[in-house]
Amino acid sequence: MTSQKEPQEGHSTSTKVTGPSSWSKVSCPCCTSTQIEPLVLIQLAESVQPITKQWIMSVIAAPVKAGGAQLLVHPGEDMKGDMIVVAAPRCTLHRVTEELGLCKTYQDGDMKAFSFEDRDNFCNIDDTQQFLTLAERQFIVKHEMDLMKALEDQRIPGIPAPAGKLKARESILQKLEKAGLIRSITPLHDQERLADLGKQWYSQKSLWGQPLDYIHNYFGGTIAYYFSFLDFYTLSLFPPAILGIFITFFLPSANFSTAIETDSNASSKISDDDHLSVSSYMVQAVFSMLWSTIFMELWKRRSASLSYHWGTFNLAEQFQEPRPGFHGEIGTNPVTGRLEPLFPDWKRKMRMGLVSVPVVGFFLGLVILGMAGFYFCERLVSSWHKESGSYFTAPLLYLPSIAHIVYTNVLGNVYRNVALKLTEAENHREESSFDYHHTTKVLVFTFFNNFAVLFHIAFFKEDMPLLRKRLSSLLIVTQVVGQFTEVVVPFLVDRFLTSANRNLKEDDPEVDHLQAQGSLPAFPGLFAEYIELLVQFGYLSLFSCVYPLTAPLLLLNNLTEIRTDAYKLCKLFNKPFSAPVANLGVWQLAFEVLSFISVISNCWLLLLSPRVKEWTQEAGLSSSQVIVIAVIVEHVLLIVKMILAFIIPDEPDWLQVKREQIEYNSMQALKKQRIKSTRVDGKLQKAKMGE
Amino acid sequence: MTSQKEPQEGHSTSTKVTGPSSWSKVSCPCCTSTQIEPLVLIQLAESVQPITKQWIMSVIAAPVKAGGAQLLVHPGEDMKGDMIVVAAPRCTLHRVTEELGLCKTYQDGDMKAFSFEDRDNFCNIDDTQQFLTLAERQFIVKHEMDLMKALEDQRIPGIPAPAGKLKARESILQKLEKAGLIRSITPLHDQERLADLGKQWYSQKSLWGQPLDYIHNYFGGTIAYYFSFLDFYTLSLFPPAILGIFITFFLPSANFSTAIETDSNASSKISDDDHLSVSSYMVQAVFSMLWSTIFMELWKRRSASLSYHWGTFNLAEQFQEPRPGFHGEIGTNPVTGRLEPLFPDWKRKMRMGLVSVPVVGFFLGLVILGMAGFYFCERLVSSWHKESGSYFTAPLLYLPSIAHIVYTNVLGNVYRNVALKLTEAENHREESSFDYHHTTKVLVFTFFNNFAVLFHIAFFKEDMPLLRKRLSSLLIVTQVVGQFTEVVVPFLVDRFLTSANRNLKEDDPEVDHLQAQGSLPAFPGLFAEYIELLVQFGYLSLFSCVYPLTAPLLLLNNLTEIRTDAYKLCKLFNKPFSAPVANLGVWQLAFEVLSFISVISNCWLLLLSPRVKEWTQEAGLSSSQVIVIAVIVEHVLLIVKMILAFIIPDEPDWLQVKREQIEYNSMQALKKQRIKSTRVDGKLQKAKMGE
C-alpha cells in the first residue's frame, strides 16, 4: 500500500489573480490553492456574446468525464470582455504528465517516468512550478483543451444553427476555431523571466553559449531542440572553417584558378602547384565527407543526452486524435473501437501515387525548364547584343537573369501552396503524418530549386570557376537578404507601427498587459528556419571543396543567426506552444539524406576538377580508367560512411545503461504488481468473508 | 477482481509415467494431475553417483525462490540409472509463457499476450497440450533449468572440492555441464506424432507444400522459420526460373557466346542477334535486381504474418543471463543491481578493433593470395608443358587446381576455428550478441571465399564465357556434393552402424525407448543450412544474368533440399531445442545486404558483357561515356530499390491494425489497473478500519 500523504500547500502566495472577477472553483480538494498561475490566453472574436463565453468557460472547467478539460478559467476583465484566461489545477497537471510519459527526477536523482501513484517519491512534487517547466504546463493546458469532446449532439448557446451545432464526439476546440469564435490561443509570457532569459541569450556580450535549459524551460521542447541543434551545428563548423581558411590563405594554389591562369610562369612550377592543389582539393572533399557523417552521429548522441536531461526520452506513444482537416465516412476505428471518421489507406496511397507524385514531378520539371529557358535566353540575348551592339540592347543582357529570379520566386510560392493543398487532399489522419508528408514535399522541391543550378554547372558545364563564383555570391547574398528580411523588417514594423499598443507601464491593470500579448503576430513556426539550415548544410557538404570559404562564412552567419532568431522569438512574435519532443523528427532524416548525397557529390566534383584531370593525364591514365577509379573510391567511401555510422553508437553508454535500468525496473515492478494484485484480491475476499 | 476458478482436471488420462519409480510431487495444489507428460531427457555421465543424481533432481524440482526450476523429475529406471526425465507442472508453464511474452488465442479469437491473471479468458487454457505447443513446453523446461542458480556458496554432493564447489549466484546447469556431469539434454520425441509429421512432410507424393504449422508445433520457432523461409524462397524461384528457361531455350542468341563465335555468318545477322542478346541480358539483370528486392520485402511481410500466427510477435525482451563462457571481474551490474561478472565494453571494442578485424582481414588476404598463387602456378605449369610436353608433365596441369581446392578447404576449416576463438575472446555477455558476431565473421569470409573468384573472373579477366562455365559447374557440383554429404552419408551411417541400438519393438520397456533417443548425434544447428541458402542466393542475384539457368537449377535443388533437410531433422539427429522467435534474426540482414550488392554487381556485369561493348561501339559512344551512363544507371537503380523497399510496408495492413489494437488495449488496461489499485488500497484501508 502506498501511503497517501496530503500534499503540502502554500509556500509562496504571490497572488497573480487578475481583475475583479474570480477563478472558477476547483472540483478536487487537494488542488485548492491560494496561488493560481494564469497560463494560457484565449482571445475570442469580438462578436462572441456573454452567453457563449460563459458556455466555453464552463466546458473548459468541466471534468474530463463530462467532455471538459478540467482546467481553471477566469473571464479577464468581466464577462463581456473578449478574453478567457486559463490555468491548471495540480491534479490535471500530474495526470497529464503521466499520460504523456514525461520523465522527472526521482528521489534517487535519476530520471524516471512520472507515475501518479508513486508521486510522493518524485522531487519537487509539491512545488508545481519547479516540478513542471512553464512550457510543459502551458502545453498540458493546450493538450487538454484539444481533447475536449461533445458527448452528445448539442447546440453552442448564442450561435445560430448551422455553425452552432455540435455533433457527438466532435472536438469542441476545433469546432470553435472553425466557426471563427476563437481568434487565438497563446501561452502567456512571464515578462520578468523573459527579460532575464533575453539577457542571458541575445543581449550577452560573449559570442558563445546559449542558456539551453532555460530555453527549454521557458519555450519548450521543439524550440529548445532547434536552438540546441543550431548551437551544435555552429560549434561543429569550427573544424571545416579552420581548414577552409588554412587552404584559402596558406595554400595559395587552391585559390581562384583564374589567378593561376593569368600567371604565366614556367610549366614546372605550375605542375608543382597542381599537385599541391589536387591534394588540398582531395583533403577538403574527404574531410567534408567524414565531417558530415561524424557530425550527424555525434548530434544523435547529443540529442539522446538532451532528451534524457529534459525527461522526454520515454514519451508515451499517443493514440492521436484525428487532425482538424481530416474527413471521412463515420465508422468504427478498428484500433480503439470508437466511432469516428475513417478514410481507407489505399485511397490515400492512390492519391499520393496518382496525384501528388506526378504534380511534384511536374514542378521539378518546371524548375529544369526555367533553367533551360534561362540559358537559352542568355545565349540569344548575348548574340543579339554582339550583332547589333548598342546602348539599348545592353540592359537587355540582364533581362534573362531577372526573369529567371522572378520565375524561381513565383514558382517557389506557387509550389508552397500546391504542396499544402496536395497534402491536405491526401487526408492524413494524424497531424504528425501530415507534417511528415508536407515537409517531405517542400524539402524535395527546395533541394532541387537550390541545388539544380549548381549541379548543372558542376556536372554538365564542368565550369569550376563559375561554380565557385556562384556559390560565393549565393552564400553572401542569401546571408544578407535573410538576416534583413527575417529581423530588420519585423523589428522596424514592431518599433514604428505596432508599438503604440504596448506603451504600458508597470502600474497599468494586468488585463491590459494580457491584452497586449495577443496583439503580436503569430509565430510562423520553425519550418523556414530548418529549411535555411538545411540549404546551408547542403552548400557546405555538397560543394565546399570547390569554395573552401563556405564554412567560415556559414560560421559567421550562424553566430548572428542564433542571436537574431532568439530576439525574434522573444520580442517580435506571440509565444508559441511547443510540445515535448525527443529529437528533431523529420529534419534529422533530411540532414542524414543530405550527408549521404554529399559523399557522391564530393567524389564526382573531385573527378571533374580541371586540376585532377590534368594530373591524371600526366599520370597517363585514360579517362575511362579515371572514372572506374572514381567509382571504386565512391563505393569505398560510402561503405566507410556506413561503417562509421554503424560503429558510433547513437546513444552515449551511460544513457544506454539508464534506459536498460528503467526497462528492467518497470519489468520488475510489473511482476511485483501482478503478485500484489492477486494477493490484494485474496485479502479483499477474506475481508468480505469476515464481514 | 478476477474470479479465480479452479482449473478443471483430467480429460484424458493416458498415463505415460515411465518405469517403476515415480514422479516428484507437485508443490502447488492446482497442478496435481494424473497425466504427466515427459518432456526432456537429461543424460548424466556414467560416473555420476546416486547421491549427486538425487541432488540434481531435488534442485530441478525446487521452487524458483529456492534457486530451482519448479519442474517435475523422474529418475528413469531407478536412482542408479544415468537419466533424469523432466516434466513441467501447469503453473510453471503458464508463468513462463507470460514471462516470455508469448501470445495465445484469446476468447474473442485474436492473439493476445498471455496474462496469468487473465488466464481463464484464453482458449484451451485447461488443456496444456493444446494451449502450448510441444516445442514450447520443451523450450520452457530448458529455459527454466538454464535459470537455476545457487543461492549461496555450496557443494555438489558426491563431487570432490574443485569441481563440486558452487559459488553464490552461479548457474547450476552451466556448472554441471562444465564439470562433465551432464552428457546431453534433449527434448523427447513423440514417436507417434513424429511418424505422422514425417508422412505429411517428406514422404508425401506431391512436390509442393510443407505442414509448417505442424513443424512449428513439433519442432519450434527457429526451425519452423528456417523451413518457412526455404518454402517461400523456393516458391519465389519460379518467376526467375521461368524467365531463365525462356531466355535460354527460346532466345537462342543469349546462349553460350562460343556458339556464335564459331558461327561465322554474315555480319548483319550477328548484329541483329547482338541487339536481341543485349536486351535479354538487360531484362535478366533488371529483373534480377527487382526480384531480389521484392522477394526480401514480401518475405518480411510473410515473416510478420507468421510471427502473429505463431504468437511470437510480441516477445518480451529478456534481460539475458550471461552466457556460459562469459568471464570478468565480479561487480554490480548497473542495470539489474545484481552481483555478477562484468566486462567493460571498451575492452571488448578494443579486442574487436585491434585483434578480430585485422585477423579476419588477414584471412581475406590469404584467400586472395591463394587465388593469385593458383593463377601463377597455372600459367607456370602450362608454359612448362608447352615447352617440354610429355606424358609426365600432362598430369601436372591438374596440380594447381587440386592444390587450390585443398588450400581453400583447409583455409575454410582453419578460419571456422579462428572465428569461433576470436568471438570467444571478445567475451560477449549475451548469447545473442555472441551469435551475431560469430555469424558475421563467418559470413564475411564465406562471401569472399565463394565469390572472390567469380568477381575476379567477371571484373578483372572480363571473361564472360569462363564465368558462365564456372558458375554452372559450381552450381551442379555443390548441389550433388551437398546432397550427398548432407544426407546419403548420415543415412548410411545411421542404417548400418548405429541402428543396432535402435532395434526396439513397441513392447520394449519405455526406458529403453528413452535411452535410444539419446544415442543419435546432436543436431548441428541451422548455421550450415543458412550459409548454403545464402551462397545460392548470391549466385542467383549476383551472377544469374550471365547464366540464366541458375534459377531453374536452384529450384530443382531446393525441392529436394526441403525433403532431405526434413528427413535429416526427423530421423538422423537428436531433436534440438528451438526458441520461439519472430524473424530470421541476423540472416535476414545478410540476405538484405546481398540483395543490395546484387544491384551493383548486375550493373557492372551488364557493362562488361562483350555484347554491350560491341553495341556501344556501334552506337559511337566513348568508353568513358559508357561508364558514366553505367554509374547513372547504377545510382538510379539503387534509388529505385530503396524506394521499393520503403513503399512496400514490412507488415500487412491487418497485422498493423492488430498490433495497434494490442498497444491501445494494454494502454487502456494500464490506466484501469492504476485506478483499480488506488481504489483497492482505499477499500483495504476501510476494511482494516472496520475491523
A275-321: pLDDT as tens digits = 445 567 778 888 888 888 889 889 999 999 998 888 888 777 666 66
DSSP assignment, residue A395? G
Chain B residues lying within 8 Å of A676, measured CB to CB? 677
Band (B261; pLDDT cuts 50, 70, 90): very low
Does residue A168 sit within a domain?
yes
The CA-CA-CA angle for residues B476, B481, B483, to 5°, reads 100
What total of structural domains would you count in chain B? 1
CB distance B116–A683 less than 8 Å?
no
Estimate the crossing angle of helix B623-647 against helix B586-608, to 10 degrees.
150
Of B626, B631, B657, the CB nearest to A335: B657
Beta bridge partners of residue B155, listed in sequence order: B165
Q: Most A CBs within 10 Å: which of B631, B659, B679, as the mutation test of the A interface? A: B631
Q: Which residue has the cell 567524414?
A: A290
Q: Please report whether residue A158 resides in a domain.
A: yes
Closest Cα of chain B to A420: distance in Å?
A: 22
pLDDT value at residue B422: 92
Distance separating alpha carbons of residues A480 and A194, to the nearest angstrom: 28
Nearest residue of A to residue B316, measured between CA atoms: A667
The answer to whether residue B2 neighbours chain A at the CB level (below 8 Å) is yes
Is a pLDDT exceeding 80 seen at residue B169?
Answer: no
- Quick check: is A521 in a domain? no
User: Which are the contacts of B42, defined by CB distance < 8 A and separation ≥ 6?
Assistant: B56, B83, B84, B85, B86, B182, B184, B185
Task: State residue B229's pLDDT score.
Answer: 93
Give the confidence band of A513 by pLDDT, cuts at 50, 70, 90. low
Per-residue pLDDT reduced to its tens digit, A74-103? 887 766 778 888 888 888 888 888 888 888
Query: What is the model's pLDDT at position A683?
Result: 58
For residue A684, the chain B residue with the least C-alpha distance is B684
Q: What is the mean pLDDT of residues B385-412?
A: 77
Q: How many angstroms separate the CA atoms of A128 and A108, rounded? A: 19
Alpha-carbon gap, residue A46 to A29, rounded angstroms: 36
Over residues B329-385, the pLDDT tens digits come to 878 877 777 777 788 888 888 888 889 999 999 999 999 898 888 888 888 888 887
Whether residue A112 is predicted with pLDDT greater than 90 in this model: the reply is: no
- In sequence order, the 6+-apart residues with CB closer than 8 A to the CB of A632 are none
Unique residue bearing C-alpha cell 481583475: A19
For chain A, what percent of residues have pLDDT higher than 90?
A: 6
Per-residue pLDDT at B266: 38
Residue B620 lies in a domain: no
- What pLDDT band is residue A687 in, cutting at 50, 70 and 90? low
Q: How far lies A143's CA from each of A285, A310, A525, A560, in Å?
A: 47, 19, 18, 34
Chain A contacts in chain B segment 307-346 (CB below 8 A): 316-317, 319, 334-336, 345
Q: Smallest CA–CA separation between A427 and chain B, in Å? A: 18
Q: Give me the amino acid identity at B391.
A: Y
pLDDT in the model for residue A680: 55
- Average pLDDT of chain B? 78
pLDDT in tens, A550-570: 888 888 888 888 888 888 888
| Residue-range definition of the domain harbouring residue A104 | 29-188
Give me the residue label for grid cell 566534383: A605
A455 burial (CB, 10 Å; 0-12 / 13-18 / 19+) is: middle
- Please check whether residue A657 touches B, CB under 8 A: yes
What average pLDDT is seen over chain A? 77
Q: Sort out which chain B residues have CB atoms less than 8 A from A674's CB and list them.
A: 116-117
Mean pLDDT of all residues in B113-132: 81
Q: Are B449 and B408 in contact (CB under 8 A)?
A: yes
Residue of B332, B345, B628 for testing the chain A interface, max A β-carbons within 10 Å = B628
- Rounded-to-integer distance, Cα A26 and Cα B268, Å: 95
Whether residue B135 is contained in a domain is answered as yes
Per-position DSSP letters for B22-78, written without gaps between them: -PPPPSSGGG--S-----EEEEEPTT--HHHHHHHHHHHHS-GGGTS---EEE-TT-
Mutate to test the interface with B, among A680, A685, A686, A691 (most CBs of B within 10 A): A680
Determine phi and psi for B639, rounding to 5 degrees: -65, -45
Shortest Cα–Cα distance, A533 to chain B (Å)? 25
Among B336, B663, B680, the residue with its CB nearest the CB of A664 is B336
Q: How confident is the model at residue B259 (pLDDT cuts 50, 70, 90)?
A: very low
Report chain B residues whose CB lies below 8 A from the CB of A623: 622, 624
With bands split at pLDDT 50, 70 and 90, how would you rate the model's confidence at B675? low
B336, part of any domain: no
Integer Cα distance of B483 and A419 in angstroms = 59
On whether residue B331 sits in a domain, the answer given is no
Q: Which of A121-135, A156-170, A267-281, B120-134 has the lowest mean pLDDT?
A: A267-281
**Complete DSSP assignment for B610-668:** HHHHHHHHHTT--HHHHHHHHHHHHHHHHHHHHHHHHHS-SS-HHHHHHHHHHHHHHHH
What b/e sequence results for B281-310 when a residue is b if at least 16 CB atoms lie within 10 Å of its CB, and e otherwise? bbbbbbbbbebbbbbbbebbbbbbebbbeb
- The reply to whether A159 falls in a domain is yes
Packed helices A267-309 and A586-608: angle between N→C axes, nearest 10 degrees = 170
Which residues have C-beta within 8 Å of that of residue B204, sequence separation ≥ 6? none
- Band the pLDDT of A516: cuts 50, 70, 90: low
Residue B588 has pLDDT above 70, yes or no: yes
Nearest to A156 by CA among A79, A53, A52: A52
Residue B123 DSSP label: T
Does residue A661 belong to the interface with chain B, where contact is any CB pair within 8 Å? yes
ipTM above 0.90, yes or no: no
Query: Tens of pLDDT along B453-497?
Result: 888 888 777 777 778 877 887 787 777 777 777 667 767 776 666
Between B508 and A323, where is the model more confident?
A323
> What string of DSSP letters covers B249-287?
HHSGGGS-HHHHHH----HHHHHHHHHHHHHHHHHHHHH
Confidence of residue B671 (pLDDT cuts 50, 70, 90): low
Chain A neighbours among B 550-609 (CB < 8 Å)? 600
pLDDT higher than 50, residue A171 = yes
CA distance linking residue A228 with residue A213, whole number of Å: 10
Nearest partner of B139 among B579, B448, B477, B631, judged by Cα:
B579
pLDDT tens digit string along B214-247? 888 889 889 999 999 999 999 999 999 998 888 8
Reply yes or no on whether the pLDDT at B14 is more than 80. Answer: no
* Residue A181: per-residue pLDDT: 84
